[in-house]
Structure 1
Amino acid sequence: MHARVVAATVAAVLGTAPLLSPGSDARAGGVGEPTVIAHRGASAYAPENTLASIDKAAQLGFTWVENDVQRTKDGELVVIHDDSLQRTTNVAQVFPGRARWKVKDFTAAEIARLDAGSWYSPAYAGTRVPTLQQYMRRVEHNHEELLLEIKNPELYPGIEQQTLKLLGNEGWLDHEHLDRLIVQSFSADSIRTVHELKPAITTACLGTPTVAQLHQYARFTDLINPSYGSLSKGYVSAVHAFDGPHGRPLRVFTWTVNDATTARKATGYGVDGIITNKPDVVRAALGSE
């Protein structure tokens, strides 16, 4: 058994890591500060998952952004978090007779009519839900890096293949861009599929698998990305004890950390990345202004 795996097992036995679930810096070796990732863009300062939110992240000086990808009725990939359009658009006003307003029940043209900014602030009235193609082109324009989440893959059979095809068409599966891309999901099956289809991609599993499960995850994922509330120093150490599919220690990006105290605690746990709505607050807390 690998020495680091032994360490993880010992940590689990001694109770220093929880046993039940509740691309740039690699801190597994204890070097450097965590990577700061702007959650749904700089979503504390602009409407989430819009081009405005990643523009704001760029204006604040942040390279890494995170988004959520789902699919329309007619097969277009769009960037939106909820499986319903109701919270972040004016869909209830534009299409009042189609309650529940699920993304999968609307065409791309219908979604393109919606205002995805006014709910956040009148200053963003007229902001649209971007297609993934539009989003990728803006990420490229901004020279940003992307943590892409495949959202609700059980609702969209084949979304992994479709997402990879679009990324390839946009040039994001060449060697240069692969260093700027991580694909994640709460679905381990979805991430396993991504790894099998394109083994060179860096992948991440959202959630907190048990220490006993980590050896299985390490076959197809490079990161374990738990919520901060499920985190402990022992768990981070246990994750770091395993090598992922590319022969490097598994990393940990935690979410969603929006205040200085929590950011410093997460850093003390040894996480490799912090996903946040307020990247400037986290950066200031870590002393890297």
Structure 2
Amino acid sequence: MENSILFQDAHNCLLEFDKATSLFAVYDGHGGHEVAQYCAQSFPEYIKQRETFQKGDYIQALKESFLGFDETLATPEVVTVLKRIADSKDDSGCTAVVALLKDQELYVANAGDSRCVVCRKGEAIEMSLDHKPEDDVEMERIVKAGGKVTGDGRVNGGLNLSRALGDHAYKQSENLPAEEQMITALPDVRTLMINPDEDEFMILACDGIWNSLSSQEVVDFVRPRIQEGHLKLSQICAELFDHCLAPNTLGDGTGCDNMTAVIVQFLPALSSTETKNLKRVALPIENCTEDASVKRSKTEESDLSV
């Protein structure tokens, strides 16, 4: 059983991930923090090293990276590393939602039930799909792989999500490819052209947020606080966590989970006059202000801005 007192999430905030490219990610660990922590340390570089990434085929690069990196998590070398940082002897894993900003193009890859949402003129645009065992497509794959979904929406009575990195105990069908296992790391990838005149910010967060609030409710909470202009994004994250946090643990568990969120604010496009006055002008999505904060049994905050 997962210990909710232990913080098991991790995140990436890489404004200068590659040329004209930023990367943001949230990893929600379960069964231990080691896979999420290792992903935060090593997954971005793994993505960058893919030949498809270097050629600019970002959709394929993200799919290859999720599946390929998941395979590396089961290699003896990486297993040794994971055991060294492990807080549990159980098979562990994590969700992963990764947002790649290349010029004005947004690519979001997701495996699990963490989520990415873009605010477009106050409307929540969901850039990822939660992967739950009770969904028809997910359940069909699980059953074909020899598993079952219990009445409470869990795979073989265990995980309450159907895609993840790690969790290799659910990936033991030797006659099936990785994308057809009970639990698969294959991500869905969605794209969006960022319009600096309409798109205001995006938020990546784990299910500790989304179990408490809908995508639109999160946008409605964050947007006016950004518009007021006197709070750092990390402070808005902290207020969001407090808003989601249950007053006690006597309820159904909503508001008692680990919470991680990354808010990325898109700055407006520069006017032609402003552009002429600058020797070098970065594209709007590079001119973003980002803060990430996490809060549960311990609090960590980091502020980055450009």
Greater relative contact order (CA < 8 Å, ≥ 6 in sequence) = 1
Specify the TM-score bucket, using the shorter chain as the normaliser.
0.3 to 0.5
TM-score computed with the length of structure 2 as normaliser: 0.31
Which structure has more strand as a fraction of its residues? 2
TM-score computed with the length of structure 1 as normaliser: 0.32
Which structure has more helix as a fraction of its residues? 1
